[in-house]
Structures are given as C-alpha cells and as structure tokens.
Chain A
Amino acid sequence: MSGVHHFVPVLHRGDAVGRHTLRLRDATRRRGIESNIFVDVVQDETADETLPAIAYAEGAQRGDVVVYQFATASLMAPWLAGRTETLVVNYHNITPPELMAPWDHHLALGQDRARDDLAVLAPRTALAIADSAYNETHLAESGFAATAVVPPSAALSDEVTAAPSPETMPDNAAGRRGGVWLAVGRVAPNKALEHSIAALAAARQHADPGATLRIVGKPVTDSYEQALRRYVADLGLEHAVSFSGYATDAAVAAAYRSADVLVVTSEHEGFCVPVVEAMAAGLPVVAFDRGAVPEVLGGAGVVVTSREPYALAAAIGAVLADPARQTELAEAGRRRLAELDLPNAADRFVDLLSQLREQGAAKRR
C-alpha cells in the first residue's frame, strides 16, 4: 500500500526542521497512512525515528508521495529528483549566499549549491509548500509550478511557550536599569545583529543609558560572531550586550519573559520563528521590514523601513515609553498567533499530501 514518506538529510530533535518533520510524520500516521522518515546521515539521537534513505528504494510502493524538507544543499535533492514517486518539496528558504560570503565562503558555497538543488527539483515537483508567502514567491521564481503556503508546524515548541522556571530567569532580571532588548536566533550574517547593536549605542546615548541587548542563539560562523564582539567593544558596550550562545528552550522562554522588546534586524528571513515565539510570550516586536517578517507580524508589531540606527532606536524607545502601546502590541500578537493557527498546521499540511495521494490513485484507476 502506498504511503507518504518524509525525507530530510539529517534529523535533529532540537531544531525546527527536525521537530516539524516528526510532527508531519505523526500527523500522517494519525490518518492511517504509512509514513516514515528517511535520512541520508543517521544520527544516534534520532536513529529510532529514521531509516536510511538508501533503504527506501527497496520498499518503495507505486503511488507513494515523498516529501523533501528543503533547507540546505544535499545529495538527497538530485537523488529524489531522479526518482519517479510524486514529489513534494517543503521549502524553508535558502539564505542568499551574498549575505554569507563576506564572512564564510564555505557556507556561502553551500547556499549557492542549495539554489542549484532547487533548480533540479523544480521541474520534478508536484507541489511545493512554503512556510510563508515570501518563500512561496521565491519558489515561483525558481520555476515551481504548483505551490501552497503552510506555516511551520513546529514553530512553537512546548518548552518555549511554557512559563519559565525561576532558576532559568536571567540573573539581572530584578535589578535592571534600562530597557531590555532581546534578539533570538542563530548568530548569522543574515540576522544583521550589528544593526541592533548600533541602535543600542544610539539609544544609550540619548534616551535610555541603561538599555541592554541580550543576544540568544548559537553562532553559525566564528568570523561573524567575533566581529560582533569586536564591534560591541569598539562601541564601549561590553557591559550592555550579552551573548548567551546556544540556549535550551527553557532558557529561551526565560529570555522572552524577562525582556521588554524583541528586536529583529534581519536582512533576510524565510519565516522568523522568534517573532511568533515573542507573540506567544506577549512581548512587543520591533523589526526591520525584510524577508517574511512583516508578513508573519501581520500588523502586530512595529515595522521599521529605515536602516538608520536612530530610527530603530526611536521606534524601540517609543514602545518602551508607552505601557499602553506594549499591551496593545501584545494583544495584537496573540490575535495574529491565533490567525496563523500553528497547532493545526501539520494537519493542513497533511491534507495537501492526502489530496495528492488520492489524485495519484485516481489517475492509476
């Protein structure tokens, strides 16, 4: 009997793509459809959840739908493109290589290769599902004929949305002297954290001398993180900017609860999970108008179109000085989160897969 199977180069429990893939597999199985996760490289932590991709060929059934989680370059892309099953691509976006190239050529090459993979997949794909309308536009530009949008089902982990325990709260939460700005996500060049740091320097100079910025996330490349640290030092902000590195979900939850505002200065985002996490935590968001961020915000945040640090600092200062506005933004965030309906995203995704599977079966009859 045919099934719906999920393919991902590597499955990690801790990352958003890994959690998303597991949720899709579980949602597929709940429909009574056979569903497995196939990987190129088996990881010990998820070995009991996965099968090696090369094993798929032996058990492949006529009428199978295969879903490829596309977030990076992988041999899986041409391999799946060369097969005959109904192919679905779940597109999580590729960071433009030009943003990475000044910092890490190897990672930029990987992103460039991922673009090539996208071109290989496009003519073979029955349906491409994007995280956001922004990503869907990129799919259309890359030659995918049939597309749909479903937000990432695992954007909100249970741990991040749960109330944090006191021991995970940052030490200085009680003794703060100024606004606490928060930036969450991988420390990568496309996040353009330097804009947040520059705005903090302007804010401390003029409006909020005690303002601080917490950067929570794992560095993607050492060269970028080291440059940020040097920049912080040059601006005399060593005591105002902290880098937490990798943080557990509990620590991330605590960071949201102890901050005053989430600041997003990314130059490129395919979805921006921290925006919805902040909405869940009731934290106001001030963000640049790049990538999918304005779409995900959906009006429930402050969007800054200028790249001037003073404009960003002013926007943040205006929110922090106005408690009524903060409450208003938090309420708007909760409404927007309800619109996105993330808890049912996996089911909506599987609806699309089921339709494809049934269409294939109808054709064979």
Chain B
Amino acid sequence: MSSSSSGWSGDAEPTEDGAEESDHLSVSGVTEENQARAGEALRASFARLSPQGSDEWNFMGAFTHLGDRYGPYQPGASDLADLLRAKGGSATKRGGRRGRLFSSAEPAVDGEKPEIDDAMTHVIEAFRFMHARVSTLEARLRTEDVPLDGAAWLAPTRELDGWIEPITALVLARSPGGDVVHADCGEGALVRALAAAGTPSHGVEPRGAVALRALERGSAVTISEVAEDLARRPASSLGGVVLSGVVDRLPLHAIVPLLADCRRALAPGAPIVVVSEPPAEAAGTTPTSQDMVDRAALHLETWELLLDRSGFVDLTPLPDGTGGDERFGIAASTPAT
C-alpha cells in the first residue's frame, strides 16, 4: 500500500499473524537516524516527569502500609479482615493471617510477637509524621518556583540567525574542550554549526515541537528546561554554555541560580555567552505573555553584575551589531584555575 498521499513514504507489509506492519513507513527528508534520535529525546522528556518515589503518593504508599499487606485497615471495610481480627489475630501481618486462614496448623511466625507489633506501630507512626512534614514542604514548593506547564511557549523566541557565526568563533577560541550547551536552542542551528566545526555540542529546548525540528535536522537536543539539564552534568565538565531565549523568559530570581548551575558545570576557563532581547522587547509580544511571563527587563549592565557576582571573569560585552539585529550579547568565562 502506497502512503505518499498521507505525507509519509514507504510501503506496508503483512506480518506473520496477518496484521499489517508499517514500521518502515517514514518521513521524507528525515533520516532514520534522526527519527530515532528524536524518538529517544521524546521518551527521555516524558520519563523525566515521573516522580520516582519522591512525591507524596509514593511516600505515603511506600511507608505507611508497612506490615499491612492489603492496604490500610479500616474497620468495617473488609469482612474477612474483621473476622480475622475478631478471632484475635492481625489481618495485616503475614504470619497472623497465614496462621489463621489456612486450614493446616501452620505455626505462627515472629510477626505475631507483641513486641514486634509495638515496634511496627511506632515505625509506622514515625513515617506518618515524616509524611505530614514532607507533604507540607511539597505543598509549599508547589506554590513557589514551579513553572506553568508549557510556559516556554508563551514567550516565543527568535532563532540566533546572525549570531551563530560570531558565537561559534568565540566559543572555539575560548573553549577548553568538552560539551558546549545551548539553551534555548530553538531549531538547533548553533548546535549544528558547533558540531560542524568539530566541537561537541548539545541543545536544550523546552518546547517539544521546536526541539523535534532540531532533532530531525540532526542536532543533539534534550527536551527540557536548561536547569534540569545542567543538574545532570558533572561539575567542571562543560566546554561552554550559550544562553539565549531562556534569558528572555525567566524571572530574575530564576536566572541567579541558573548562572550558579552554569558556573558549577563549566570547566575552568570555559566561556559563557548570553544573548538577550533588549529590555523593551522582552516584555512579550502577546497579552498572555505580557501578563504571565514573569521576566524583569535586564539591561547589559545588570548582566555584567550578575555574571560577576556568579563568579565569572573576563566579562566582554559583544560589540553592537554583532548578530545583525537589536539583541545584545555578553561573554564571560570561568576562572582558569
């Protein structure tokens, strides 16, 4: 079956069980390697959203049901559990339940010793107390710096365009080696330019569909916020960081820790480059972005102050007109030793 009219190319063939198998249909113009790369980035982007045992549901489930095989015991909820309790045993202890449910006279195990029961009660109470504390803290965190889902879409950013060549030259001249990270990388042109120049490079882009276009063109891109990406990087491992886009949408109180993350992840002597919209343009282009993107307009002088206070040296404002548009840039480096 030809499927060119659907926007995809390739043919489908029947599988052994007679069902149609369509795995080799593909997108015209996107290599299989880049499709696989994009698929992997999408999977990783979703996997990072799993709570991995740190949230309240998992905490509650993992610890407060210790010794309770079939969930929290509620009087009256389970006739069988009540029956067992009425007979003097615990429905929630393996040994107790097993000793009473099975018709054979299986001996009771240590779960029935009163001192074990008492100890277990204290352990469970301790975990419940901890759960209450963690819940309080998590509730507080949820009201603070958690970004709105999909907030990156509210402040559309420009591609680097004319900035690519000068930034590539700057990074090549200053980088001591190691991955160069670009956030927000958009469609990945700088990442590809750096890679073409022989510098290992990686883009970070929170807008998944934009990242997909970068991935389809062969850029190495992670779909996430740059802070998440930097947190996974070993200290002193990066050969450079370029920040564009992200600096036009994050509030000041998020930029300060972001610079600290960059400082930690960059190798000694490695460059950081910031490309920012002029403050007047950064307020947003749509009513929603103007209202909801909590970004203070930062001037060049403010970036100098922030980079300096974050421990960067060799602060170098890039000449006006560097990128051929109204944006301004500033470069700095981590201390060489």
Show the binding face of A for B, using Cβ within 8 Å.
Answer: 40-42, 52-54, 73-76, 78-79, 81-84, 102-110, 113, 194, 198, 201-202, 204-208, 221-224, 226-227, 229-238, 286, 294, 297-311, 313-315, 317-318, 320-322, 325
Contacts and interface: CB of A to CB of B under 8 A. Distances in A.
A318 B15 contact: no
B71 A53 contact: no
B213 A194 contact: no
A306 B21 CA distance: 10
Contact of A310 (B3, B35, B207, B223): B35
Interface string B46-83: 11011111010110111001000111000001111101
A106 B103 contact: no
A78 B50 contact: no
Nearest to B58: A105
B30 A310 contact: yes
Interface in B76-116: 77-81, 83-84, 91, 97-98, 101-103
A110 B51 contact: no
B6 A321 contact: yes
B49 A230 contact: yes
B149 A206 contact: no
A227 B46 contact: yes
Contact of A313 (B8, B19, B50): B8
A289 to B, nearest CB: 8
Given A201-B208, A201-B212, 4 more contacts: A40-B80, A108-B61, A318-B3, A322-B6
A335 to B, nearest CB: 11
B42 A311 contact: no
A41 B25 CA distance: 51
A235 B6 CA distance: 22
Given A74-B70, A303-B21, A207 B7 contact: yes
A62 to B, nearest CB: 15
A308 B46 CA distance: 14
A267 to B, nearest CB: 12
B148 to A, nearest CB: 8
B50 A311 contact: no
Given A41-B78, A223-B51, A321-B3, A306 B207 contact: no
Chain A interface mostly: helix
Which of A113, A297, A298, A314: most chain B CB closer than 10 A?
A314
Interface string B202-219: 000011111011000000
Contacts of A304: 21-23
B254 interface: no
A231 B49 contact: yes
14 contacts: A104-B57, A106-B61, A113-B70, A201-B42, A223-B51, A294-B19, A302-B12, A304-B23, A313-B8, A314-B8, A314-B26, A315-B22, A318-B1, A320-B6
A6 B209 CA distance: 51
B337 interface: no
Given A40-B78, A105-B61, A227 B49 contact: yes
A105 B55 CA distance: 10
Nearest to B62: A105
Given A82-B103, A206-B27, A308 B19 contact: no
Nearest to A57: B83
A104 B51 CA distance: 8
A40 B27 contact: no
Contacts of B45: 231, 234
B22 A106 contact: no
B37 to A, nearest CB: 10
